[in-house]
């Protein structure tokens, strides 16, 4: 589809979530890429403007570069459905489920897909939580994180029992639901998926080697100390198995457009475990989907235009573009 046929495009960026800063970086990159391709693209920050202005101002489609709450959780997707403006990425239901790590794990487990064991803790019941029982169930080390945040915000790797109460409290600041998860020790990888339904396909796997194994917010976005290996260096059979697994995980959630799934590979058994899915992945200079796409021969600009051309609605008669 030519740039002129894409119409007037709003790049939604910023927003009101804890990931606002990252979203602004993603959105600016997407905006620059689309404009370089000749698309009539404009920045639009839902934290500063009412989304109803999208209809009033004649936007034909939206590229969602929002992350986290009010952007990746089905809320803005629902608003765009009501406005009748096609948008990039997953629809309302898939976005809402994928944003909630616990709900995502429930779907994956129901479909027989491997994901680490977990215990869900509610913030209002923190005083009654038994540290001893949690450790007995999940072991140490353990990962504690908010159920509905991204970018490693509020995430703690708990190594000793003494660290657990503070980790629970930190996650509880971010979310009423706190996910305590078995820590899989081994290789950390991520794999993007493009497309919808049976046409979904994986991009190359990226292996992540972070300083001291700590892939936190700082090491994700603001340092150059983390290594991203693509090709991953994994055996071809392992990489193929991971790609097949993430495509299945993406499909059973009903995702479309694009996404990125994080996976841990158990060092002892080489079993891959699904951690979580991002349905509006980062598009910053440190982001992984553009890196993987580039390794497959797809430039940042071409990726942005391809995603924009796939913009649609849950209830459209046919996919636009």
Q: Does residue 254 carry a catalytic annotation?
A: no
Q: Does residue 2 carry a catalytic annotation?
A: no
From the CB of residue 103, how many other CB atoms can be counted at a distance below 10 Å? 16
Query: What is the C-alpha to C-alpha distance for residues 189 and 55, in angstroms, rounded to an integer?
Result: 40
Q: Does residue 177 carry a catalytic annotation?
A: no
Q: Please tell me which residue in 282, 287, 292, 300 is annotated as part of the active site.
A: 282
Q: Please tell me which residue in 26, 90, 95, 278 is annotated as part of the active site.
A: 278
Tokens 């059973």: give the residue. Answer: 252
Q: Please tell me which residue in 91, 148, 276, 300 is annotated as part of the active site.
A: 276
Tokens 């570069």: give the residue. Answer: 65
Q: Are 2 and 306 in contact (CB under 8 A)?
A: no
Q: Does residue 260 carry a catalytic annotation?
A: yes
Q: Please tell me which residue in 20, 69, 207, 260 is annotated as part of the active site.
A: 260
Q: Please tell me which residue in 15, 17, 19, 259 is annotated as part of the active site.
A: 19
How far from the centroid of its chain's Cα atoms is residue 129's Cα? 29
Q: Does residue 132 carry a catalytic annotation?
A: no
From the CB of residue 151, how many other CB atoms can be counted at a distance below 10 Å? 20
Longest CA span, the chain = 61
Q: Does residue 21 carry a catalytic annotation?
A: no
Q: Please tell me which residue in 95, 151, 280, 287 is annotated as part of the active site.
A: 151
Q: Does residue 221 carry a catalytic annotation?
A: yes
Q: Please tell me which residue in 87, 221, 250, 300 is annotated as part of the active site.
A: 221
Q: Please tell me which residue in 45, 72, 239, 262 is annotated as part of the active site.
A: 262
**What contacts 309, CB < 8 A, 6 or more positions away?**
1, 6, 321
Q: Does residue 163 carry a catalytic annotation?
A: no
Residues forming the active site = 19, 151, 221, 260, 262, 276, 278, 282
């Amino acid at each position: 589809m030519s740039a002129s046929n894409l119409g007037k495009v709003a790049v939604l960026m910023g927003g009101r979530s804890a990931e606002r800063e990252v979203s602004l970086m993603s959105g600016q990159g997407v905006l620059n890429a689309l404009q370089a391709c000749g698309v009539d693209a404009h920045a639009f920050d839902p934290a500063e403007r009412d989304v109803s202005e999208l209809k009033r101002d004649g936007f034909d489609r939206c590229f969602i570069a929002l992350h986290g709450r009010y952007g990746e959780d089905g809320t803005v997707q629902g608003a765009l459905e009501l406005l009748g403006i096609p948008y990039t990425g997953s629809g309302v239901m898939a976005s809402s489920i994928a944003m909630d790590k616990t709900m995502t794990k429930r779907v994956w487990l129901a479909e027989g897909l491997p994901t680490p064991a977990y215990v869900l803790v509610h913030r209002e019941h923190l005083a009654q939580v038994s540290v001893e029982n949690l450790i007995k169930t999940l072991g140490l080390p353990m990962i504690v994180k908010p159920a509905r945040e991204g970018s490693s915000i509020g995430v703690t790797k708990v190594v000793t029992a003494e660290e657990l109460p503070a980790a629970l409290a930190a996650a509880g600041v971010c979310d009423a639901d706190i996910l305590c998860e078995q820590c899989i020790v081994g290789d950390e990888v991520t794999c993007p998926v493009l497309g919808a339904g049976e046409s979904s396909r994986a991009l190359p796997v990226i292996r992540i080697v972070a300083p001291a194994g700590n892939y936190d917010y700082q090491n994700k976005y603001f340092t150059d100390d983390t290594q991203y290996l693509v090709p991953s260096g994994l055996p071809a059979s392992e990489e193929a198995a991971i790609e097949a697994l993430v495509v299945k995980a993406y499909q059973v959630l009903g995702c479309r457009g694009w996404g990125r799934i994080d996976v841990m590979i158990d060092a002892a058994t080489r079993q891959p475990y699904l951690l979580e899915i991002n349905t509006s992945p980062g598009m910053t200079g440190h982001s992984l989907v553009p890196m993987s796409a580039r390794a497959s021969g797809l430039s940042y600009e071409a990726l942005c235009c391809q995603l924009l051309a796939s913009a649609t609605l849950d209830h459209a008669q046919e996919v636009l573009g």
